[in-house]
Amino acid sequence: MSVLLTRLPSRMPSIVRRQAVVRLFRATAAAFGRDMPDLSGLSREQCLLEYARFTAQQAEQALCCGENLPGLQERLYQNAYRLSWIPGRLLGVRSAGDVVALGRLLYDLLDIVFQGESTGEIVISRCYFSSFYSPEVCQVMSAMDSGLLAGLAGAGDLVFTQRITERHACCRAHFVLAVNQEV
Q: If the chain, 183 residues long, is cut into consecutive pieces of 10 residues, what is the mean pLDDT of each piece?
A: 53 78 96 95 95 97 90 97 90 86 89 92 96 96 95 91 96 84 46
Q: Give residues with Cβ within 8 angstroms of 97, minimum separation 6.
A: 1, 117, 118, 119, 120
DSSP state letter for 169: S
Q: CA–CA distance from 58 to each of 21, 54, 97, 135, 138 (Å)?
A: 17, 6, 33, 14, 12
Q: Quote the CA–CA distance of 163 and 131 in Å, as a whole number.
A: 12
Whether this model's pTM surpasses 0.85: yes
Q: Quote the CA–CA distance of 164 and 4 in Å, as a whole number.
A: 32
Alpha-carbon torsion (24, 30, 32, 37), positive or negative:
positive
Q: CA–CA distance from 16 to each of 21, 48, 61, 108 (Å)?
A: 9, 13, 31, 12
Residue range 10-176, CATH number: 3.30.1380
Do 44 and 50 meet the contact criterion of CB atoms below 8 Å apart?
Answer: no
Q: Give residues with Cβ within 8 angstroms of 105, minimum separation 6.
A: 8, 10, 12
Q: Which pLDDT does position 93 carry in this prediction?
A: 86
Angle between helices 69-90 and 44-64 (to 10 degrees): 150
Q: Which pLDDT does position 177 carry in this prediction?
A: 85
Q: Indicate the domain borders of the chain.
A: 10-176
Do 181 and 156 meet the contact criterion of CB atoms below 8 Å apart?
Answer: yes
Q: Which of 119, 123, 82, 116 is nearest to 102 (CA)?
A: 116
